[in-house]
Amino acid sequence: MHVAAVCPRDCYDTCFMLADVEEGRVAGVRGDSRNPVTRGFLCPRGVMDHVRMLRGRILHPYLRVGGKPGGRLRRVGWDEALRITAEKLAEVLKRHGSGAVLHLEYSGDMGLLTQYLPLRLWSALGASRTDYAVCSASGHAALRLHYGLSYGVMPEELPNVRLIVFWGFNAAISAPHLWSLSLDARMRGALIAVVDPRRSETAGLADIWVAPKPGSDAALAYGVARILITRGYVDEGFLEKWSYGYEKYKERALEWTPRRVEEATGVRPGLLESLAEAYGENKPSTTMIGFGAQKTVSGAETVRAVALLPALLGLHRGFYYSNSSAWIIDLGYLTGEKLSARKPRVVSQVALAEHVARGEFKFIYIYGTNPAATLPAQDLLRRGLARRDVFVVVHETHWNETTAYADIVLPAPTFLEKDDLVVSYSHGYIRLSHRVVEPLGESRSELWVSRRLAELIGVGEEWVYEDPWRAVEKSLENALMNGSFSDLLAGKTLRLKARQKNKYQTPTGRIEFYSTRASSLGLDPLPSIPPLPEAQGFILLNSSHPNYTHTQFREVYGPIPPVVHVNPDDAARLGVRSGDRVVLYNEQGEVVVQALITDKVPPGVLWAPKLLTGLNGKPLNTLAPPITQKIGGGSTYNSITVRVKKA
């Protein structure tokens, strides 16, 4: 028997799948060709989902006896686990108020019934939440300054363009289906260019590779813009009709001569010209802006500058960053944010460690995320989670770093064990993801637990208990293009309506080269070039590994490789050889890894797989400071500076 499912992970591609079921067990998972974007093949994670479903699972509720971490876990029944949880929650609400309660969730499973609808409990309570800024918020905020909303090119457009520029986007690893569509374009004669400080897998396959100094991308974009302007590639008629403030932008762009760009970025004038001419001579183009490009201290400015290049060439939203804002879905209704009169306290996700360590929260409820590995300032965060006056509940599918800090551990089903709907942030295809097998052990869904807790503490708001599918249907009103909600429930594949590419939700209703919103906020109305901080040692870059989605799939492929890539010149100076153990350290802490000598990184730059755990047991994010960007509050993972010594 073949059962249709949809991968719900934090990934660009959101693949359609078919699970092969034999005698009540999942024998295998394969791609489903009925999605024209994901096209019937899966990445190394997807093909092993049926294996991961069985390994490292939490199958029963547990109560911690003793301190965190290290205390013994005692298996308990659901009634006892929920009673203790509800009593602690009610106690904190009574003694400290809703601000002392934090719900902490993210995109480990992006299903509407898994990630969003359970939030109604916390919306009704007015509990504290984060700003969800750790991954992509600064890029979204940057695009809103100039375009109104951050959506852009749809994946189906990729095979028909003449140039695809992957800017800080290692698509061959992190978005294999978008990469496959790009290769289709190349087969039709398109060029592929990559802007990335290291020779990533995508850069190694590009026609043009440009390697600026980390964090200097905005200067490079201005240099490209200057050449497009001075050589007559700019579409003046388009700019007159569709843009605002171009002349002021032009003045700044013309300041960025090739020599000045080289001084700021390290990119030689000839290579700068090759990139600019590729833009000018190959229309239409698509600029694919990666989340990694904006995870620096100047990340939002990078996105602002890069995203305006397509507009110079007469393209409506000729970039791709994320299409989540293209869909007309009422997530505020789904989460209860629009239904509750209570306004929650919102804290920085990037700087959460500081708040937790100070004991600002007395009850923390965690699901769909592994913060004890993924957030900055790990030593500080873990000290906070270990506090005796902080009660931590973790509802999770697999044992991980965060469960080690839980007072209560609750078992959750994987996506193969429940029905759900998943919305992609790249393509607009949507269908029901069916439960493939019954939940393992005593697993209970995120929604089931949130409603039981609501009942136990006496939440009276009726909308907390609304029929789940009715709530989803209301959130999708006017969102479906070619069918009804009942068609979705019947298993049909539908398309989501997308906002028009030539609509700009800015104050002027145009593409704002000179952002009026930025001006009103006291920001530079034009993309700015903040001086790069002086690196105290090396700049440490980190990005995805093909076998892992964040910290998921270690159950299948083992630990994320604890390695760091070092340039041969740096290795010689440090006296380090491939295979040597080295210590990466800064004021945040230190992580021990194995050195791999390679010219894929330039001198002064290191690269490691993100979210690894070092040979000394310390997560890589021990080294990440809780520094937020001015625009969007995003992370600065790719601006980490470290020193290196032999272990």
Can you tell me the distance from the alpha carbon of 560 to that of 269, in angstroms, rounded to the nearest whole number?
38
Domain membership of residue 452 (yes or no) is: yes
Report strand pairing: 191-195 vs 420-421.
unpaired
Average pLDDT of the segment spanning 15-34: 96
Whether 205 and 250 map to the same domain: the answer is yes
Beta strand spans in 254-384 (E) = 285-289, 319-320, 346-347, 363-367
Which of 272, 303, 321 is a domain's end point? Answer: 321
Kindly report the backbone phi and psi dihedral angles of residue 392, in degrees, each rounded to the nearest multiple of 5, phi listed first: -115, 125
Average pLDDT of the segment spanning 102-110: 97
Instruction: Name the band, by pLDDT with cuts 50, 70 and 90, for residue 70.
Output: confident
Does residue 443 carry a pLDDT above 80? yes
Whether 356 and 375 map to the same domain: the answer is yes
Identify the CA nearest to 610 among candidates 626, 601, 623, 599: 623
Token pair for 176: 């294999």
Which contiguous run of DSSP H or E holds residue 220? helix 217-230
Average pLDDT of the segment spanning 134-162: 98
Does residue 341 carry a pLDDT above 80? yes
- What are the Cα distances from residue 293, in Å, to 201, 537, 598, 635? 16, 21, 22, 11
Residue 532 confidence (pLDDT): 76
Give the CATH number, domain containing residue 594.
2.40.40.20
- What are the Cα distances from residue 380, in Å, to 18, 464, 558, 643? 42, 35, 26, 20
Does residue 401 carry a pLDDT above 90? yes
Which of 288, 321, 354 is a domain's end point? Answer: 321
Domain membership of residue 30 (yes or no) is: no
Whether 127 and 160 map to the same domain: the answer is no
How many helices (H) does the chain have, and how many strands (E)? 23, 28
In the chain, the amino acid numbered 414 is: T
Residue 323 DSSP one-character state: -
Domain membership of residue 451 (yes or no) is: yes
Does residue 13 carry a pLDDT above 90? yes
Give the residue carrying structure tokens 């000598």.
Answer: 597
Whether 423 and 551 map to the same domain: the answer is no
The 10s digit of each residue's pLDDT in 576-614 is: 999 999 999 999 999 999 999 999 999 999 999 999 999
Can you tell me the distance from the alpha carbon of 374 to that of 611, in angstroms, rounded to the nearest whole number?
6
Per the document, the length of the chain is 647
Whether 302 and 391 map to the same domain: the answer is no
The 10s digit of each residue's pLDDT in 177-186 is: 999 999 999 9
Helix (H, G, I), strand (E, B) or coil at 548: coil
Counting residues of the chain whose pLDDT is more than 70, the rounded percentage is: 100
Report strand pairing: 163-167 vs 191-195.
parallel
Helix (H, G, I), strand (E, B) or coil at 540: strand
Residue 531 confidence (pLDDT): 83
Domain membership of residue 50 (yes or no) is: no
Whether 129 and 143 map to the same domain: the answer is no
Token pair for 628: 């937020």
Domain membership of residue 48 (yes or no) is: no
Average pLDDT of the segment spanning 200-223: 98
In which domain, by residue range, is 425 found? 62-134+329-429+437-483
Q: Is-contact 614 562, C-beta < 8 A?
A: yes
Domain membership of residue 117 (yes or no) is: yes
Tell me how far the alpha carbon of residue 605 is from its chain's centroid: 23
Q: What is the mean pLDDT of the chain?
A: 97
Whether 94 and 203 map to the same domain: the answer is no
Question: What single string gives the DSSP state of each residue in 355-386?
Answer: HHHTT--SEEEEES--HHHHSS-HHHHHHHHT
Domain membership of residue 219 (yes or no) is: yes
Whether 334 and 385 map to the same domain: the answer is yes
For the chain, the helix, strand and coil percentages under 3-state DSSP, each to the nearest 5:
35, 20, 45
Longest dimension (CA), the chain: 73
Give the CATH number, domain containing residue 268.
3.40.228.10
Does residue 533 carry a pLDDT above 80? no
Domain count along the chain: 3
Instruction: Name the band, by pLDDT with cuts 50, 70 and 90, for residue 116.
Output: very high
Can you tell me the distance from the alpha carbon of 133 to that of 496, in angstroms, rounded to the nearest whole number?
25
Whether 128 and 148 map to the same domain: the answer is no
Residue 534 confidence (pLDDT): 74
- What are the Cα distances from residue 199, in Å, to 100, 176, 195, 247, 468? 46, 17, 9, 36, 46
The 10s digit of each residue's pLDDT in 36-45 is: 999 999 999 9
Identify the CA nearest to 12 among candidates 426, 318, 552: 426
In the chain, the amino acid numbered 403 is: T
> Judging by beta carbons within 10 Å of its beta carbon (0-12, 13-18, 19+), is residue 15 exposed, middle or buried?
buried
Q: Enumerate the β-bridge partners of residue 541.
A: 607
Helix (H, G, I), strand (E, B) or coil at 420: strand
Whether 256 and 221 map to the same domain: the answer is yes
Whether 108 and 146 map to the same domain: the answer is no
Residue 536 confidence (pLDDT): 79
Domain membership of residue 56 (yes or no) is: no
Which contiguous run of DSSP H or E holds residue 176? helix 176-187
Helix (H, G, I), strand (E, B) or coil at 389: coil
Does residue 397 carry a pLDDT above 90? yes
Helix (H, G, I), strand (E, B) or coil at 391: strand
Give the residue carrying structure tokens 């960025």.
Answer: 256
Give the CATH number, domain containing residue 458.
3.40.50.740
In the chain, the amino acid numbered 256 is: W
Instruction: Name the band, by pLDDT with cuts 50, 70 and 90, for residue 530.
Output: confident
pTM of the predicted protein model = 0.97
Which of 291, 321, 351 is a domain's end point? Answer: 321
Average pLDDT of the segment spanning 149-173: 98
Residue 406 confidence (pLDDT): 98
Can you tell me the distance from the alpha carbon of 610 to that of 621, in angstroms, rounded to the nearest whole number?
8
Beta strand spans in 32-158 (E) = 62-65, 72-75, 101-105, 129-130
Residue 531 DSSP one-character state: P
In the chain, the amino acid numbered 436 is: V
Whether 205 and 300 map to the same domain: the answer is yes
